[in-house]
Amino acid sequence: MKILVAVKRVIDYNVQIRVKEDNSGVVTENVKMSTNPPDDNAIEEAVKIKEAGKAKEVVAVSVGEEKAQETVRKALAVGADRGILVKVDGVIEPLAVSKILKKIVEKEKPDLVFMGKQAIDDDCNQTGQMLAALLNWPQATFASKIEVKEKSLEVTREVDEGLETIEVKVPAIVTCDLRLNEPRYASLPNIMKAKKKPIEQVSAGDLGVDVKSRIEQIKVEEPPKRKAGIKVASVEELVQKLKNEAKVI
Residues that bind ligand AMP (CB under 6 A): 6-8, 36, 38-39, 62-64, 92, 94, 97, 115-116, 118-119, 122, 124-128
* Residue placing its CB nearer to ligand AMP in the complex, 6 or 112: 6
Output the smallest distance, CB 244 to ligand AMP, in A. Answer: 42
* Residue placing its CB nearer to ligand AMP in the complex, 127 or 139: 127
* Residue placing its CB nearer to ligand AMP in the complex, 64 or 171: 64
* Residue placing its CB nearer to ligand AMP in the complex, 6 or 194: 6
62, β-bridge pairs: 85
3-state DSSP call for residue 134?
Answer: helix
Residue nearest to ligand AMP as judged by C-beta position:
116
Q: What's the rounded Cα separation, in Å, for the pair 121 and 27?
A: 12
3-state DSSP call for residue 181?
Answer: coil
Helix 94-108 vs helix 127-135: crossing angle, to nearest 10: 50
* Residue placing its CB nearer to ligand AMP in the complex, 8 or 102: 8
Opening angle at CA 149, ends 148 and 154, nearest 5: 65
Output the smallest distance, CB 97 to ligand AMP, in A. Answer: 4
Q: Is the peptide bond before 171 cis (omega within 30 degrees of 0)?
A: yes
Output the smallest distance, CB 204 to ligand AMP, in A. Answer: 10
Output the smallest distance, CB 89 to ligand AMP, in A. Answer: 12
Output the smallest distance, CB 120 to ligand AMP, in A. Answer: 8
* Residue placing its CB nearer to ligand AMP in the complex, 141 or 156: 141
Q: What's the rounded Cα separation, in Å, for the pair 40 and 74?
A: 9
| Residue type for position 135 | L
The DSSP call for residue 154 is E
Q: What's the rounded Cα separation, in Å, for the pair 232 and 230?
A: 7
Output the smallest distance, CB 87 to ligand AMP, in A. Answer: 11
Opening angle at CA 213, ends 133 and 75, nearest 5: 65
